[in-house]
């Protein structure tokens, strides 16, 4: 970076070449008034307050003028004062001045500038004061917009466009009537606004302000508890309540950005529904109990069902330390490997598939690299809904001229920015991806030096591509060959290209094959092991990566060390001081089956709600009811917890210490902000107590930092991780020793396989297990809403999120809706071979004709009663993304008709 | 809507700087800019719909509501103004139940205001379509619309 010297107000300062006068001044603690400048937005020079004088050149706006060698700047002169005073006076007369009650009071920049410039009351009186009384827009549940307090700096408009990519608002009308408006000047709730709140944070005055704002008395650094992006946050605390959330600008995962759930969805923490005391079911009813009673009952009962009669489900919502303990308890105390967690319902195909081809099942690259890539293939991911802050990176890349290829049966929001939109039939990803590779091979666009040096199995793989000629691919996917060829060429010729994927790839009966197709595509073009390239599975839950890393899986110990490897078994036996079971345990769905068959009799379920989240939910419910003893540990009495014999109240993420590992393998610290509500306890403490009561050794931890030390001693990838180091910021695994800085990009030199080379895997196309037929003619696919999260246990308890999305909506194409006589907003019945649900129809072009789409967030509409539990043979993940259904309108009771009949 | 709009759009490439000509053509065809048309244009040009609304609301030549069969043009020029044009406008608005710039639900009337219609000596005045009404008073307005 070139540094130059300039002089500001007779002080010589160093300035980075290419920066502006204003930036240089602010960096050197020299104040220049400004309203429309914001550090990460393009300067517009609208407010005219940052005017400075350059002798010989006159007045210039400092936010848009770049520094030059030897430049002399005066921030204050009679002329600058005059210009600034006039500008401020004009703003104030058009502005409601009763700002005392404004939540921005302490930070109102207009007030700060008025004080700095010095406003003469007499002059103000002579100017005509505003007569504007525009109504306040209170439509959004999280913030209000008061146009009469607006200074038209445009920071909100630029933030919405440049940062969020939503462009919900812009300047509208003219001169005195100029205002910030949505499309059609409608309430913000009816606009494209995603309620991320970034504009509210940045508004320099009181025009945009959070509802019911309470200033926190202190702030605690933590990590968001929703999706796998792992956004750094500050929890605002007042007394023992969370009253605000603020993005941490130093956090590399989000750089301060947050989505609507992360910023506003915190009210579940102090919600009155929280479990505050242990509950024991007596005669079919829950009775409050003490911890001693509950723990003793659990110890007594669990001791009856050791080994193969016991299973535990750990939680991707809990910390690494807590997952480590649940699997340690299951293995070392209960003597079985029957431990799994909800990754089985989502990214198990990633873990199984990428372990086979690349040696390691995680994002190969880093979130911040996505914005810098030359090409993104986003397949099976509605990124802006399910991983909103990663969605910002995708929008950013697309705006910076990166090519964007979206492959999805639905016309998702990202299609607005896409160069190619491939709208393939659900479940035909392999045909599509193999077809793209066939094009790449036929046209010689593959990276032969990379293939020869870094991979194996290419020759055999090449042969299987012969099965995927364009006639077959076109027929199977329903996509025009020109589109596929165009996408293949763009992906192969852009350098670097990256692939993002999520549930649309994994939740299939051929999910692992889908993942392997993706890894093949990145290998054939050499798009891996380099910055901004790679294979990037976007993980769904805050700590699903960590729960996998910690070995909450039936086939591996922590660090993916195989349970059936005798060397590994010996290592853990000596560490834990007990003999261990050498055979693999049961997976999530196999546990349900075994419970149904009464082979598993006791289940310890931590932080999960399978009755809503698992495919073919009625089977899961039946299985749970057949258990002899069922313990649920959660923060709410979920639909699943209602069936438990003992319910243990757990602390939420704001009430405990620990670590989460985000989607990009970054291990990040969460800090306790408030005391656990009522008598709730941190999950790690609870599992330790149960372990100790059952005579387990190695459960005497007094704080989670000690658990992390034990993890570091057993998991090579976490060896260099300690709480002391994490205080300074997260670390990306592999982190091999206490001096290792962590690993930003995987596979740069060698792959994590035994040979060090990546493997091409030959694949065949297998259709989804349930294909539409004359009785069930439509395909149901599932999705995530931006406003809710998994089974809704948390988000459904945040009032504002329920306003933004209050109920299940079945998206159906107008073509199908017309044929079936369904109108927008009408209640419809969705029936599959397994069950039926009702919901309101939303007639929209978003899904393909023949495809309907539903979420899984609403307990009133249990979508998973309908979905298919056909399992992927390798990862045992159910096929939630494709099942055959029929849809019919539910006839409402027609009073007039009915009355007519009565008369007859 | 779809057909005539795609006919208009077919002569453009979908670039940002084509926005105003496209809006002008749509307005010429329909007399106003319907929301659905602006949404379609947003998709075509890649300009956000809020920005299109901003552009269209900035220029006086664009309107967002359809024009009625009869156009009522109230003069607000200096002469009319001093002789009570505001009260005339108010009365027309009250009589038709709409505000300046709006159209009645039955698409019969649209109210518009202009700076002068060139008969200052006979102020206050207004035009209904091509017919000029002069020396107006509120009772006169009532009579005109009662016809």
Distance CA B64, CA B24 (A): 12
Backbone phi and psi for residue A22, each to the nearest 5 degrees, phi listed first:
-60, -45
Please indicate, yes or no, if residue A241 is contained in any of the structural domains: no
pLDDT attached to residue A106: 57
Contact A559, A269 (CB under 8 A): no
ipTM: 0.86
Domain boundary among A537, A570, A600: A537
Q: What is the pLDDT of residues A535-580, one digit of tens each?
A: 999 998 999 999 999 999 999 999 999 999 999 999 999 999 999 9
More confident call, A776 vs A149:
A776
- Are residues A48 and A61 located together in one domain of the fold? yes
- B53 and A191: CB-CB below 8 Å? no
Reading the block at residue A361, the tokens are 């099942």
Query: Among partner residues A170, A171, A184, which is closest to B48 by beta-carbon distance?
Result: A170
- Are residues A515 and A555 located together in one domain of the fold? no
Chain A residues within 8 A of B39 when measuring between CB atoms: 183
pLDDT attached to residue A97: 60
Given the DSSP bridges, would you call strands A666-670 and A658-661 parallel, antiparallel or unpaired?
A: antiparallel
Percent of chain A residues topping a pLDDT of 70 = 96
Structural domain count of chain A = 4
Residue A292 bridge partners (DSSP): none
Q: Is A199 on the interface with B (CB under 8 A)?
A: no
Chain A residues within 8 A of B36 when measuring between CB atoms: none
Q: Domain containing A503 — which CATH number? A: 3.40.228.10
Contact A632, A645 (CB under 8 A): no
Contact A653, A224 (CB under 8 A): no
- A172 and B49: CB-CB below 8 Å? no
SS3 A729: coil
Given the DSSP bridges, would you call strands A72-73 and A3-8 parallel, antiparallel or unpaired?
A: parallel
Quickly state the pLDDT bin for A98 (edges 50, 70, 90). Answer: low
CA closest to A185 among chain B residues: B53
Please indicate, yes or no, if residue A216 is contained in any of the structural domains: no
CA closest to A172 among chain B residues: B54
Contact A421, A412 (CB under 8 A): no
Q: What are the sequence ranges of the domains in chain B?
A: 2-58, 70-146
SS3 A236: strand
Query: Among partner residues A174, A184, A416, which is closest to B53 by beta-carbon distance?
Result: A184
Residue at token pair 């931890």: A701
Please indicate, yes or no, if residue A139 is contained in any of the structural domains: no
- Are residues A386 and A515 located together in one domain of the fold? yes
B143: distance to nearest CA of chain A, Å?
35
Distance CA A554, CA A550 (A): 11
Distances (CA, A) of A496 to A403, A479, A534, B105: 11, 25, 9, 57
Radius of gyration of chain A (CA): 29
* CA A834 to the chain's CA centroid: 30
Report the sign of the C-alpha dihedral through residues A583, A588, A590, A593, in that order: positive
pLDDT at A290 over 70: yes
CATH 1.10.10.1590 holds for B2-58? yes
pLDDT attached to residue A108: 81
Q: Is A192 on the interface with B (CB under 8 A)?
A: yes
SS3 A504: helix
Q: What is the pLDDT of residues B61-119, one digit of tens each?
A: 898 988 888 989 999 999 999 999 999 999 999 999 998 888 898 889 999 888 888 88
Q: Is B32 on the interface with A (CB under 8 A)?
A: no
Query: Among partner residues B35, B48, B54, which is closest to A171 by beta-carbon distance?
Result: B54
Q: Which of A19-33, A254-268, A784-798 has the lowest mean pLDDT?
A: A784-798
- A172 and B35: CB-CB below 8 Å? no
Please indicate, yes or no, if residue A199 is contained in any of the structural domains: no
Q: What is the pLDDT of residues A833-872, one digit of tens each?
A: 999 999 999 999 999 999 999 998 988 888 888 888 888 8
Distance CA A340, CA A337 (A): 9
Distance CA A834, CA A706 (A): 47
Domain boundary among A507, A537, A567: A537
What pTM does this model have? 0.90
- Are residues A472 and A509 located together in one domain of the fold? yes
Quickly state the pLDDT bin for A274 (edges 50, 70, 90). Answer: very high
- Are residues A360 and A327 located together in one domain of the fold? no
pLDDT at B123 over 70: yes
Percent of chain A residues topping a pLDDT of 90 = 82
Reading the block at residue A75, the tokens are 């921030």
Distance CA A583, CA A492 (A): 43
Best B39, B50, B62 member to test A by mutation, with max A CBs in 10 Å, is B50
- A184 and B35: CB-CB below 8 Å? yes
CA closest to B62 among chain A residues: A173
- Are residues A75 and A63 located together in one domain of the fold? yes
- A167 and B50: CB-CB below 8 Å? yes
Q: Is A184 on the interface with B (CB under 8 A)?
A: yes
Quickly state the pLDDT bin for A357 (edges 50, 70, 90). Answer: very high
Contact A379, A407 (CB under 8 A): yes
Counting beta carbons within 10 angstroms of the beta carbon of residue A184, is it exposed (0 to 12), middle (13 to 18) or buried (19 or more)?
Answer: middle
Neighbours of A802 (CB within 10 A): 16
Q: Domain containing A120 — which CATH number? A: 3.10.20.740
Q: Domain containing A589 — which CATH number? A: 3.40.50.740
DSSP secondary-structure letter at A700?
Answer: -
Chain B residues within 8 A of A192 when measuring between CB atoms: 48-50
Domain boundary among A512, A537, A562: A537
Q: Which domain holds residue A61?
A: 3-126
Chain A residues within 8 A of B53 when measuring between CB atoms: 170, 172, 181-185
**Span A474-479, mean pLDDT?**
95
Contact A331, A581 (CB under 8 A): yes
- Are residues A399 and A532 located together in one domain of the fold? yes
Contact B9, B44 (CB under 8 A): yes
Cα dihedral A335→A337→A341→A347 (10° resolution): 160
Q: Is A306 on the interface with B (CB under 8 A)?
A: no
Query: Among partner residues A170, A174, A191, which is closest to B51 by beta-carbon distance?
Result: A170
- Are residues A463 and A493 located together in one domain of the fold? yes
- Are residues A13 and A96 located together in one domain of the fold? yes
Distances (CA, A) of A689 to A187, A304, A320, A652: 53, 18, 18, 18
Quickly state the pLDDT bin for A93 (edges 50, 70, 90). Answer: confident
What CATH number was assigned to the domain covering residues B70-146?
3.40.30.10
pLDDT attached to residue A119: 78
Chain B residues within 8 A of A416 when measuring between CB atoms: 43, 46
Q: Is B64 on the interface with A (CB under 8 A)?
A: yes
- Are residues A375 and A523 located together in one domain of the fold? yes
Given the DSSP bridges, would you call strands B109-114 and A403-407 parallel, antiparallel or unpaired?
A: unpaired
Radius of gyration of chain B (CA): 18
- Are residues A338 and A390 located together in one domain of the fold? no
Reading the block at residue A66, the tokens are 């770049």
Q: Which of A46-55, A103-112, A269-278, A465-474 has the lowest mean pLDDT?
A: A103-112
pLDDT attached to residue A177: 87
- Are residues A660 and A796 located together in one domain of the fold? no
Q: Can you list the positions of beta strands (E) in A850-900?
A: 851-855, 883-889
């Amino acid at each position: 970076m070139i540094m130059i010297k300039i002089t500001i107000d007779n002080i010589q300062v160093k300035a980075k070449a290419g920066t502006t006068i204003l930036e240089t001044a602010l960096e050197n603690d020299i104040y220049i008034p400004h309203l429309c400048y914001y550090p990460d937005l393009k300067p517009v020079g609208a407010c005219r307050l940052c005017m400075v004088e350059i002798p010989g050149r006159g007045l210039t706006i400092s936010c848009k003028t770049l520094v030059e060698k030897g430049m002399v700047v005066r921030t204050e002169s009679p002329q600058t004062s005059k210009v600034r005073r006039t500008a401020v006076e004009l703003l104030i007369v058009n502005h409601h001045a009763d700002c005392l009650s404004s939540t921005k009071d302490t930070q109102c920049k207009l007030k700060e500038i008025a004080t700095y410039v010095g406003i003469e009351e007499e002059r103000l009186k002579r100017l005509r004061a505003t007569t504007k009384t525009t109504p306040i827009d209170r439509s959004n549940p999280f913030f209000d917009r008061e146009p009469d307090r607006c200074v038209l700096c445009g920071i909100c408009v630029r933030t919405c466009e440049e940062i969020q990519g939503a462009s919900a608002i812009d300047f509208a009308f003219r001169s005195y009537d100029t205002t910030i408006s949505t499309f059609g000047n409608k309430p913000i709730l009816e606009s494209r606004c995603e309620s991320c709140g970034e504009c509210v944070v940045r508004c320099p005055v009181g025009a945009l302000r959070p509802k019911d704002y309470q200033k926190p008395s202190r702030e605690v650094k933590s990590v968001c508890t929703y999706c796998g992006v792992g956004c750094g946050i500050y929890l605002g605390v007042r007394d023992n309540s969370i009253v605000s959330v603020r993005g941490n600008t130093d956090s590399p995962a989000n750089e301060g950005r947050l989505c609507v759930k992360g910023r506003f969805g915190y009210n579940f923490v102090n919600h009155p529904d929280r479990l505050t005391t242990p509950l024991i079911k007596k005669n079919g009813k829950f009775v409050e109990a003490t911890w001693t009673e509950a723990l003793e009952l659990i110890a007594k009962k669990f001791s009856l069902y050791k080994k193969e009669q016991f299973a535990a489900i750990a939680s991707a919502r809990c910390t690494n330390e807590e997952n480590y303990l649940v699997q340690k308890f299951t293995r070392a105390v209960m003597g079985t490997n029957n431990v799994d967690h909800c990754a089985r319902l989502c990214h198990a195909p990633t873990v199984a598939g990428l372990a086979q081809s690349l040696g390691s099942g995680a994002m190969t690259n880093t979130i911040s690299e996505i914005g810098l890539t030359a090409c993104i293939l986003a397949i099976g991911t509605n990124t802006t809904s399910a991983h909103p802050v990663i969605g910002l990176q995708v929008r950013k890349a697309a705006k910076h001229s990166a090519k964007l290829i979206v492959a999805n049966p639905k016309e998702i929001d990202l299609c607005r920015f896409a160069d190619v939109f491939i709208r393939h039939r659900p479940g035909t990803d392999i045909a599509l991806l193999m077809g793209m590779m066939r094009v790449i091979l036929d046209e010689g666009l593959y990276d032969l030096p990379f293939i020869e040096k870094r991979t194996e199995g290419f020759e055999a793989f090449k042969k299987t591509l012969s099965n995927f000629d364009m006639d077959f691919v076109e027929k199977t996917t329903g996509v025009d060959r020109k589109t596929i060829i165009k996408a293949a060429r763009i992906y192969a010729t852009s350098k670097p290209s990256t692939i993002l994927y999520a549930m649309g790839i994994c939740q299939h009966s051929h999910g692992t094959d889908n993942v392997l197709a993706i890894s093949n595509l990145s290998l054939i073009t050499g798009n891996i092991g380099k910055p901004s390239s790679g294979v990037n599975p976007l993980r769904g839950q805050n700590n699903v990566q960590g729960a996998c890393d910690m070995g909450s899986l039936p086939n591996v110990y922590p660090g993916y060390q195989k349970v059936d490897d005798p060397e590994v078994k010996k290592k853990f036996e000596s560490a834990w001081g007990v003999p261990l079971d050498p055979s693999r345990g049961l997976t999530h769905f196999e546990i349900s089956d075994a419970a149904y068959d009464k082979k598993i009799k006791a289940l310890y379920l931590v932080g999960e709600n399978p009755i809503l989240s698992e495919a073919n939910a009625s089977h899961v419910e039946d299985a749970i009811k057949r258990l002899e003893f069922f313990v649920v540990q959660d923060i709410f009495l979920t639909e699943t917890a209602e069936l438990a014999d003992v319910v243990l109240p757990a602390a939420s993420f704001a009430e405990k210490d620990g670590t989460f590992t985000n989607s990009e393998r970054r291990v990040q610290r969460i800090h306790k902000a408030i005391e656990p509500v009522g008598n709730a306890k941190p999950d790690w403490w609870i599992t330790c107590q149960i372990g100790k009561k059952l005579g387990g050794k190695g459960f005497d931890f007094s704080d989670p930092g000690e658990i992390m030390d034990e993890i570091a001693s057993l998991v090579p990838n976490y060896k260099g991780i300690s709480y002391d180091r994490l205080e300074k910021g997260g670390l990306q695994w592999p982190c091999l020793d206490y001096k290792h800085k962590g690993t930003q990009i995987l596979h740069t030199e060698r792959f994590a396989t035994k040979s060090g080379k990546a493997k091409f895997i030959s694949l065949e196309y297998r259709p989804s297990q349930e294909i539409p037929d004359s009785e069930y003619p439509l395909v149901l696919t599932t999705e995530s809403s931006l406003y809710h999260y998994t089974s809704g246990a948390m988000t459904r308890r945040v009032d504002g999120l329920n306003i933004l999305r209050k109920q299940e909506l079945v998206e159906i194409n107008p073509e199908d809706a017309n044929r079936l006589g369904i109108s927008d907003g009408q209640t419809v019945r969705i029936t599959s071979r397994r069950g039926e649900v009702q919901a309101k129809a939303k007639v929209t072009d978003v899904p393909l004709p023949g495809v309907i789409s539903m979420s899984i967030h609403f307990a009133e509409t249990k979508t998973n009663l309908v979905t298919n539990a056909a399992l992927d043979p390798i990862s045992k993940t159910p096929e939630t993304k494709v099942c055959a259904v029929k849809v019919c309108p539910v006839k409402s009771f027609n009073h007039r008709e009915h009355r007519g009949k009565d008369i007859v | 809507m779809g057909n005539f709009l795609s006919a208009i759009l077919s002569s453009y490439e979908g670039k940002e700087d084509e926005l105003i000509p496209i809006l002008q053509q749509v307005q010429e065809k329909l007399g106003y800019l319907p929301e659905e048309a602006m949404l379609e244009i947003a998709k075509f040009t890649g300009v956000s719909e809020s920005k299109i609304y901003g552009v269209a609301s900035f220029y006086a030549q664009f309107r967002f509501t359809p024009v009625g069969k009869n156009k009522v043009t109230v003069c607000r020029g200096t002469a009319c103004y001093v002789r009570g044009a505001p009260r005339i406008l108010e009365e027309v608005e009250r009589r038709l139940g709409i505000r300046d710039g709006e159209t009645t639900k039955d698409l019969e009337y649209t109210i518009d205001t202009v700076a002068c219609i060139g008969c200052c000596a006979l102020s206050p005045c207004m035009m209904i379509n091509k017919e000029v009404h002069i020396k107006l008073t509120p009772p006169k307005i009532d009579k005109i619309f009662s016809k």
